[in-house]
């Protein structure tokens, strides 16, 4: 199971978020893209483009509002016929995209063809590819070796023209991708700054792309991270069928086995191998195969050391890298130790859709409904990042949603996020920020289910809402709700009292 982090991340997205600019496409009589001049240093530069994005970020605090507008600058590059690769965070929540070519003032309208927020990659296409027909398509190389030199090409802030910097590969690791706040993949660290605007640009070695620039480190100077080619190739292969299907997940959490006493208790040799299974996700790929207390010894024949690493392609990487390169329906061979005896079995990998609750969502409108001034929303990381939740029950439900299998009983954790003042809900403001357990005696399974319970065909005398951790239920007369809804709609200028589609 990939690691999650909910605290503010040190890793910075480098989308180059700037004030929104009203930039119109230039008329067709704009001079054509200049050809490569004699003696130009590289054909690669022609195929690296500047991306201007106008974006609209949803407002989860007041979900009926349209959200705030903004903009940013990023980089992309041509990899095929009308295929421009960039970062997902460059184009997230976009409302308009314009592409500019090195040495030309013309702006080309573009659109997102595929986006993968879990690995921070996106593929764009322009409305008219005619002017790009003769541009070279950049090809991919392998993961660069430690201490080898690479070039970072892009359009960082500080100027309008193309920028090229050089750096040395200083680390190859398995670490978090800050765009989604929930996913970890293979990364390559270089000693060159990845600045706002560089995001999505190619990182080149021997005239082949060996990575995509995507984030930097706040606490260190001249430290940047690139998405290496195994991650890029997996994204491109995933979208070959016309859809992006997300990464698969092993569905098992592990813990290092360095402690000698623990190894002895588990009847293990002192050979530096094996990691302890601490949790198996319900409905996950390992359910019914592994159980807490097992010790994973190998994956697809690669020995797993006590720190959870394997030797792959000559480098020590996290054992999850085996799973990272596979797709739903693929198999992985596991060998594990249980009660001192070795066991082995192939498991079929699959995605874990409930795990996306822990990832920031993009291109989606907030789900909510307003009922007599009470605002109900489903708990997810977007909401968690927008609203301060101090209640211990809400935090517990959030943290246990996947590992404890709460999602098998409740599709959504419904939270009373706001109370818009109205006579019918007086004295209820102190209950905001609490999770809903039952409505009219029925356990709430989803946001839509909560709405149905509060709007039954036959109205009860009173609606009773039970909240986790509340000293008493919320009670309001059912026949007063319709009038309250109209007052709240008019008083707070709420055009739509509900949205159940993302």
DSSP string, 337-390: EETTEEEEEEEE-B--GGGGGGSPP-S-PPPEEEETTEEEEE--HHHHHHS---
Catalytic residue among 184, 199, 298, 306: 199
Rounded to an integer, what distance in angstroms lies between the CA atom of residue 460 and that of residue 260? 63
DSSP string, 165-209: EEEEEEEEEEEEETTTSSEEEEEEEESS---TT-TT-EEEETTEE
What pairs with residue 205 in β-bridges? 208
Rounded to an integer, what distance in angstroms lies between the CA atom of residue 490 and that of residue 493? 5
Has 89 been annotated as catalytic? Answer: yes
Tokens of 7: 């605290």
Pairing of strands 252-256, 275-280: antiparallel
- Contacts with 188 (C-beta within 8 Å, 6 or more apart), sequence order: 143, 144, 169, 171, 172, 203, 210, 211, 225, 226, 228
Look up tokens 């592994």; give the residue: 290
Three-state DSSP at 274 gives coil
In Å, what is the CA distance from 401 to each residue of 75, 106, 183, 186? 37, 49, 17, 26
Has 199 been annotated as catalytic? Answer: yes
Catalytic residue among 47, 89, 183, 412: 89
Pairing of strands 17-18, 11-13: unpaired
Catalytic residue among 120, 279, 318, 412: 120
Has 451 been annotated as catalytic? Answer: no
Residue closest to 152 by CA, chosen among 212, 80, 88, 227? 212
Which are the catalytic amino acids?
A: 89, 120, 199
């Amino acid at each position: 199971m990939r690691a999650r982090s909910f605290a503010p991340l040190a890793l910075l997205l480098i989308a180059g978020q700037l004030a929104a600019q009203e930039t119109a496409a230039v008329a067709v009589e704009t001079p054509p893209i200049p050809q490569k001049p004699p003696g130009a240093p590289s054909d690669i530069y022609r195929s690296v483009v500047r991306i201007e994005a106008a974006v609209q970020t949803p407002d989860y605090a007041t979900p009926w509002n349209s959200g705030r507008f903004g903009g940013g600058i990023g980089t992309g590059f041509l990899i095929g016929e009308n295929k421009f690769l960039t970062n997902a965070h460059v184009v997230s929540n976009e409302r308009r995209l314009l592409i500019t070519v090195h040495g030309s003032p013309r702006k080309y309208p573009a659109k997102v063809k595929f986006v993968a927020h879990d690995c921070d990659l996106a593929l764009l296409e322009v409305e008219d590819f005619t002017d790009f027909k003769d541009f070279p398509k950049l090809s991919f190389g392998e993961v660069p070796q430690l201490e080898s030199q690479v070039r970072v090409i892009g359009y960082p802030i500080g100027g309008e023209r193309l920028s090229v910097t050089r750096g040395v590969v200083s680390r190859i690791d398995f670490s978090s991708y800050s765009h989604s706040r929930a996913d970890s993949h293979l990364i390559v660290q270089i000693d060159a700054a990845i600045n706002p605007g560089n995001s999505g640009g190619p990182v080149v070695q021997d005239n082949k792309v060996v990575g995509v620039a995507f984030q930097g480190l706040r606490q260190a100077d001249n430290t940047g991270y690139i998405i290496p080619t195994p991650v890029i190739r997996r994204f491109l292969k995933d979208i070959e069928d016309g859809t992006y299907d997300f990464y698969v997940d092993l569905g098992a959490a592990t813990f290092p086995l360095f402690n000698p006493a623990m190894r002895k208790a588990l009847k293990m040799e002192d050979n530096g191998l094996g990691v302890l299974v601490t949790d198996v996700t319900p409905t996950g790929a390992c359910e019914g195969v592994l159980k807490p207390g097992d010790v994973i010894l190998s994956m697809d024949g690669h020995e797993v050391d006590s720190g959870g690493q394997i030797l792959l392609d000559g480098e020590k990487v996290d054992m999850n890298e085996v799973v990272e390169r596979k797709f739903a329906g693929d198999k992985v061979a596991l060998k594990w130790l249980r009660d001192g005896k070795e066991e082995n079995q192939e498991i079929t990998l699959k995605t874990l859709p409930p795990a996306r609750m822990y990832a920031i969502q993009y291109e989606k409108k907030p789900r909510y409904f307003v009922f007599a001034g009470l605002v109900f929303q489903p708990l997810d990381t977007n909401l968690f990042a927008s609203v301060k939740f101090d209640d211990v029950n809400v935090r517990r439900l959030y943290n246990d949603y996947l590992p404890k299998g709460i999602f098998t009983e409740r599709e959504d954790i419904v939270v009373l996020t706001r109370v818009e003042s109205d006579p019918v809900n007086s004295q209820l403001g102190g209950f905001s920020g609490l999770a809903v357990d039952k409505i009219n005696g029925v356990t709430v399974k989803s946001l839509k289910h909560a709405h149905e319970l509060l709007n039954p065909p036959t109205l009860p005398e009173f609606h009773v809402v039970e909240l986790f951790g509340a000293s008493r239920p919320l009670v309001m007369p059912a026949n007063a709700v319709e009038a309250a809804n109209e007052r709240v709609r008019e008083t707070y200028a709420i055009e739509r009292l509900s949205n159940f589609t993302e």
